[in-house]
Chains A and B, each alone.
Chain A
Amino acid sequence: MTAALALVASACGGGGGGSKSSTGGGDAAPASQYKAAVTQVVNPSTKTGGTLRMGMPGDFDSVDPGDMYYGYAWNFARFYTRALTMFKPVPGEEGLQLVGDLAEDLGKPSDGGKTWTYKLREGVKFEDGTPVTSKDVKYAVARSLDKDILPSGPTYFNDWLDTGDYTGPYKMKGKLDSWKGIETPDDRTIVFHLKKAYGGFDYFAMLPQTAPVPEAKDTGSKYKEHPVATGPYMFKSHELTKRIELVKNPNWDAATDPNRKQLNDSIEVLLGQNEDDLDQRLLSGKIDVKVNSTGVAANARKTVLTDEKVKQYADSALIDRTWFTNINGDVKPFDNIHCRKAVLYAADRSAIQGAYGGPDAGGDVALSLMPPKMTGYQKIDPYGVEATPGGNVDKAKEELAACGQPNGFSTTISFRNERAAEKQTAEALQQSLGRVGIKLDLKGYPQGDYFKLYAGKPDFAKKNGLGLMVYGWGADYPEGFGFFQQIVDSRVIRPAGNTNLGVKDPKIDALIDQAAAETDATKRGAIWAQVDKQVMDSAFILPYVWAHGLFYRPPTLKNVFVSQNWGMYEFLTLSTQ
């Protein structure tokens, strides 16, 4: 059946813009180049008008800026919200730079990084013309603390702000002004007080949770029906789970916003689309942008990578995600570092790269855990993967001998049932580790409960002997803390629902603290590189693929580039005229 679908996809999707229904592609369209949008702006244009048509396979976790966690949601939110800071919307490494958005500039740290002060731009207004003040930002952050009402967003502010007993404006009505975790000495100044120093607070200030929310218009969990805009577009309609339509915000002033333009007349997002069909509509130009984090799905990938007419409009780009397997130190004999290192040496990373779709659709063979385009990355290869991507059997046997298991041992590997690549990864590991006598029993679990009930629940994992757990992680933002903290800091391990599946190394914890407190970005980056090295030395994680997304841009789409920060097309600049 899949083959049949692929055949249809190939027959009908081929040609990209060349299909009859395309609005401007085909042989007559200007030729493009594969990966052109990875490093430069493709089809630059300043023309205005038209509708940007977006489609997504599922739905946003929320469009409420205080209640969203996915990268594509954050990317999309900047159409209608302005957080204190933002990533510069430009191609290349410059796109990793934070700049002021609602704030005039980046934050000013004091008290050794425990206090951060931002000055808001003058003249920014909500869509109804009301001026934005620092109190609106304080209210926005405060409401996001309430995870009963707004459960989906990150918990950085809950964890780092000096909240005291304050739990948010819904449960503690009338207490906002007296809460000193955030202070607003005047309408344009906002001061954040942290429990302990954090040098990268500008990244927190980039979160949509800092986008202002007018208290009078806040409708709690229903705010997603119509978030009040400060960006160039505002909600005209939001049919929940079906469609979103944004139109120009008449009270957005370009003079207050050097990072955005208002080129489209409107933006339409169709939600809940059949993914294979959505890809076909993207390839035939009926949709301008697919909203997700990894690009086209498996069936369309074949068309994109094998048909040169289509491939010229595609971009394979590194995203801030690494596919890896956790090695569970709670399960014997992985309490012994040499047994863990035996796995790291024996694994055939080339085979796993194939399981994820090869170099273009899957990604590069990973030499360490940290994705290479993140700020602070330094190349290391402690297991000689570059030279022996298929694994080093001799070194693996040496480690097994040092572990006291010269003939190998048996253990269980878990994966998510719904993810074919993870099952194939488990099979590839079964084969490659089998070469040194490590026998794997494969065990799949449902994706929805994988972390909450199975692999992410330490008691369950230990009791069921899950020695290896197939996994992957994408950074919240392209800096060490946004990538490492949730997956290698032992102090985030809880009874269930873990994202750290068993990395317990005090040296790593200490380095994370050291990096977090460092306010000098260069020095901080160097410490994150040390974290990466220490993770590899402790051998709790077997990284194998630095993920790529395979994205397609119809020939009619203008101002397209892959944002280094988002690891997908930068939505903010896209237009169709």
Chain B
Amino acid sequence: MLLFVVSIATFAIFFLVPRLAGMSADDLASRYVGKAANAQVIHDTAIRLGFNDPVIVQYGRFVKGIFTGVDRNYGPGIEHCPAPCLGYSYVSQNPVLPDILNRLPITLSLALGAAVVWVIFGVATGVVSALRRGSFFDRLSMGIALAGVSLPIFFTGIVSLAIFRDQLGLVGDVADWVPFSEDPLTWANNLILPWVTLAFLYAAGYARLTRAGMLETMSEDYIRTARAKGLAERVVVLKHGLRATLTPVLTMFGLDLGLLLGGAVLTESTFSLPGIGKYAVDAISNNDLPQVMGVTLIAAAFIILANLIVDLLYAVVDPRVRLA
């Protein structure tokens, strides 16, 4: 249902709104022709892309393509885009789904790698800060966390590239994407800056959330009871304190990871990583509806999937959920 609503909303934004604003089918088509196209070429393009049909018919055609596939004339012949087909780009004329799937490993590498970094550093920092509340470490780490959530990635990204790549030469040429299967070391070397930069932004929020949760949990009666029973402090903190704190962290993690899998727009653009986020930026700047629809649906699917996984993990983290 969510995917259906998202697809209708996206379609309406790109088609219905311009038509209501007075744009004709030829006006819409004029975005997808060469710069020297004459009126006839523009008109033919409008017909070819089906812009003269009612918007509901165009939407129906898009949905039909998902279930039955789409045929397209590529010049010398007709090719079939098999179901589920998200259509062909108006600009590049490439089928959308293979383009997105082709970029998925890049976005997956970026998002999952960054997630590992930010969860480890964010949660660990939050725990230590809570246990040493008011200490120099607490103040310093929370100060850094504040900087992390405040500084935009297009700033921290460019600065980190300039320092760690250009001046110190510690990392490779990030823009030169190498798949994990081809060369794992180069893959990691090229991604480490995007991971850290992206994690810097997210870890900050996790550190603050974990710290707040830990402060609250560690003052609970059952923590005092656990200590009174003579449990080791490590067990009290990790098994009884942290575990109870993780539920809201996990909720946030699900949302964040789902969003990132749909495209880390700023990070990919800053580091010239040709992932789904970069694809989304290009699609929007080109008004390329099939590409926008494809990215939106894939992103929405990732958010649903991530939340489903998180819901299942609640039961692992918090035994009360299993009992309920």
A71: interface (CB < 8 Å): no
B residues 135-167 with Cβ under 8 Å of A?
A: 152, 155, 158-159, 161-163, 165-167
- On chain A, the residues within 8 Å of B278 by CB distance are 272
- On chain B, the residues within 8 Å of A242 by CB distance are 177, 274
- On chain B, the residues within 8 Å of A412 by CB distance are none
- On chain A, the residues within 8 Å of B30 by CB distance are 452-453, 496-497
Whether B270 pairs with A274 at a CB distance below 8 angstroms is yes
> Out of A1, A11, A147, A499, which one reaches B162, CB within 8 Å?
A11
In the assembly, what is the distance between CA of A265 and CA of B173, in Å? Answer: 21
Q: Which of B32, B93, B177 has the most CB of A within 10 A?
A: B93
Q: Which of A271, A276, A449, A497 has the most CB of B within 10 A?
A: A497
Q: Which residue of A lies closest to B287 (CB)?
A: A448
A110: interface (CB < 8 Å): no
B74: interface (CB < 8 Å): yes
Q: Which of B41, B73, B76, B161 has the most CB of A within 10 A?
A: B76
A238-279 near B? 1/0 per residue, CB < 8 Å: 011111000000000000000000000000001111101110
Question: What is the CB-to-nearest-CB distance from B29 to chain A, in angstroms, rounded to a whole number?
Answer: 9
A9: interface (CB < 8 Å): yes
In the assembly, what is the distance between CA of A147 and CA of B45, in Å? Answer: 9
Question: What is the CB-to-nearest-CB distance from B151 to chain A, in angstroms, rounded to a whole number?
Answer: 10
Binds B, one of A13-21, A100-108, A186-194, A351-359: A13-21
> Out of A5, A241, A448, which one reaches B285, CB within 8 Å?
A448
Mostly helix, strand, loop or mixed at chain A's interface?
A: loop
A549: interface (CB < 8 Å): no
Binds B, one of A151-159, A313-321, A380-388: A151-159
> Out of B31, B162, B165, which one reaches A448, CB within 8 Å?
B31
Q: Which residue of B lies closest to A285 (CB)?
A: B166
A interface residues, tally (CB under 8 Å): 59
In the assembly, what is the distance between CA of A242 and CA of B26, in Å? Answer: 31
Question: What is the CB-to-nearest-CB distance from B173 to chain A, in angstroms, rounded to a whole number?
Answer: 6
A479-504 near B? 1/0 per residue, CB < 8 Å: 00000001000000011110100000
Q: Which residue of A lies closest to B40 (CB)?
A: A147
B residues 12-51 with Cβ under 8 Å of A?
A: 23, 26-27, 30-39, 41-42, 44-45, 48
Given A274-B272, A452-B31, are A147 and B92 also a contact pair (CB < 8 Å)? no
A-B pairs under 8 A by CB, number: 151
Given A149-B75, A240-B94, A272-B282, are A280 and B161 also a contact pair (CB < 8 Å)? yes
Question: What is the CB-to-nearest-CB distance from B155 to chain A, in angstroms, rounded to a whole number?
Answer: 6
B271: interface (CB < 8 Å): yes
Whether B35 pairs with A499 at a CB distance below 8 angstroms is yes
B107: interface (CB < 8 Å): no
Question: What is the CB-to-nearest-CB distance from A12 to chain B, in angstroms, rounded to a whole number?
Answer: 4
In the assembly, what is the distance between CA of A220 and CA of B163, in Å? Answer: 46
A218: interface (CB < 8 Å): yes
> Out of B23, B74, B92, B177, which one reaches A453, CB within 8 Å?
B23
- On chain A, the residues within 8 Å of B34 by CB distance are 61, 69, 147, 151-155
Whether B75 pairs with A495 at a CB distance below 8 angstroms is no
- On chain A, the residues within 8 Å of B269 by CB distance are 274
Whether B270 pairs with A221 at a CB distance below 8 angstroms is no
In the assembly, what is the distance between CA of A271 and CA of B75, in Å? Answer: 26
A219: interface (CB < 8 Å): yes
- On chain A, the residues within 8 Å of B155 by CB distance are 1, 4-5
Whether A277 pairs with B272 at a CB distance below 8 angstroms is yes
In the assembly, what is the distance between CA of A270 and CA of B158, in Å? Answer: 18
In the assembly, what is the distance between CA of A494 and CA of B27, in Å? Answer: 13
Whether B33 pairs with A151 at a CB distance below 8 angstroms is yes
Q: Which residue of B lies closest to A170 (CB)?
A: B75
B311: interface (CB < 8 Å): no
A416: interface (CB < 8 Å): no
Whether B272 pairs with A273 at a CB distance below 8 angstroms is yes
Given A5-B158, A220-B75, A274-B271, are A147 and B37 also a contact pair (CB < 8 Å)? yes
Whether A270 pairs with B176 at a CB distance below 8 angstroms is yes
A286: interface (CB < 8 Å): yes
Whether A220 pairs with B35 at a CB distance below 8 angstroms is no
> Out of B74, B76, B272, which one reaches A272, CB within 8 Å?
B272
Whether B166 pairs with A151 at a CB distance below 8 angstroms is no
- Using a CB–CB cutoff of 8 Å, the interface residues on chain A facing chain B are 1, 4-5, 8-9, 11-13, 19-21, 55, 61, 69, 143, 146-155, 170, 218-223, 239-243, 270-274, 276-278, 280-281, 284, 286, 448-449, 452-453, 486, 494-497, 499
A8-B162, A146-B75, A151-B37 given. 11 additional CB < 8 A pairs? Answer: A12-B166, A12-B167, A20-B168, A21-B166, A155-B34, A155-B38, A219-B74, A221-B75, A273-B175, A274-B270, A497-B37
- Using a CB–CB cutoff of 8 Å, the interface residues on chain B facing chain A are 23, 26-27, 30-39, 41-42, 44-45, 48, 73-77, 92-94, 99, 102, 152, 155, 158-159, 161-163, 165-169, 173, 175-177, 269-272, 274, 278-279, 282, 285-287
Q: List 18 A-B contacts (CB under 8 A).
A: A1-B152, A9-B162, A13-B162, A20-B169, A143-B75, A151-B33, A151-B34, A223-B75, A242-B274, A243-B177, A270-B175, A273-B272, A277-B270, A280-B162, A449-B31, A453-B30, A495-B39, A499-B35
Which 9 A-B residue pairs are closest in the complex by CB-CB distance? A220-B75, A12-B162, A452-B30, A149-B75, A152-B34, A220-B74, A273-B272, A170-B75, A242-B274
